[in-house]
Amino acid sequence: MEKLSGKDKELIRGSWESLGKNKVPHGVIMFSRLFELDPALLSLFHYSPNCGSTQDCLSSPEFLEHVTKVMLVIDAAVSHLDDLHSLEDFLLNLGRKHQAVGVNTQSFAMVGESLLYMLQCSLGQAYTAPLRQAWLNMYSIVVAAMSRGWAKNGEDKAD
Ligand code: HEM
């Protein structure tokens, strides 16, 4: 597992301090962006036929629950910046679960883009190139572990 620089950690912690206190609204900005980039992802949530528009979906309790889960994973990563490897088993398993529900690994990258979009909207002037890169570095570590679990699940099924 890759490591983050001291500067990366400082930038991530500093910016998450306020965002992390308001996870759900920030998560909703992220997922609104994600479904704008790839509306087909909406159908992977088995509860999506129950809602009319994307915005209706995003305000439904089931979606808000997933948004909350995603934000808690990000929160866990920010809390473990010094030992991200301790999340390895959890992230492998999470990747496996997403393989099972039909999410592909390219979509994880799209969540990353949406995360950066949310940071840009929320942080304004504080969204600098080094901060963007720091978040990208952390998110890439998380996604790399999820993708390993995703691939492992695919292999197990092919056996
Ligand atoms: C690429 C877009 C994604 C889609 C379409 C997606 C879809 C899903 C679906 C359908 C489930 C199962 C139903 C549910 O719990 O709502 C799920 C569970 C979950 N997702 Fe995602 N997901 C995505 C990305 C992510 C990312 C990037 C994270 C974290 C960084 C994440 C974290 C979780 C967690 C923690 C669960 C619960 C797993 C469990 O039951 O133990 N998801 N996701």
CA of residue 98 to ligand 1 center, whole Å: 6
The verdict on residue 65 lying in a domain is: yes
Q: What is the pLDDT of residue 158?
A: 67
Looking up tokens 């206190």 gives 21
The structural domain count of the chain equals 1
The verdict on residue 33 lying in a domain is: yes
CA of residue 36 to ligand 1 center, whole Å: 18
CA distance 36 to 30: 10
State which residues form the domain around 96. 6-158
The verdict on residue 1 lying in a domain is: no
The CATH number of the domain holding residue 115 is: 1.10.490.10
Predicted ipTM > 0.90: yes
Looking up tokens 């949310």 gives 118
Q: What is the pLDDT of residue 56?
A: 83
* Lining residues, ligand 1, CB within 6 Å: 41, 44-45, 66, 69-70, 73, 94, 97-98, 101, 103, 107-108, 111, 142
Sign of the alpha-carbon torsion through 101, 107, 111, 117: negative
What value does the mean pLDDT take over residues 130-159?
A: 91
Q: What is the pLDDT of residue 159?
A: 60
Judge whether 62 and 79 are in contact, CB under 8 Å: no
- Percent of the chain with pLDDT strictly greater than 90: 79
Report which of 57, 137, 146, 157 is spatially closest to residue 107, judged by C-alpha positions: 146
Judge whether 70 and 146 are in contact, CB under 8 Å: no
Instruction: State the number of CA atoms in the 13 A half-sphere of 135 facing the CB.
Output: 25
Round the average pLDDT of the chain to a whole number and report it.
93
The string of pLDDT tens digits covering residues 66-87 is 999 999 999 999 999 999 999 9
Please report which confidence band the pLDDT of residue 45 belongs to, taking 50, 70 and 90 as the band edges.
Answer: confident
Whether residue 61 has pLDDT greater than 80 = yes
Q: Which atom of ligand 1 is nearest to the CA of 107?
A: 1
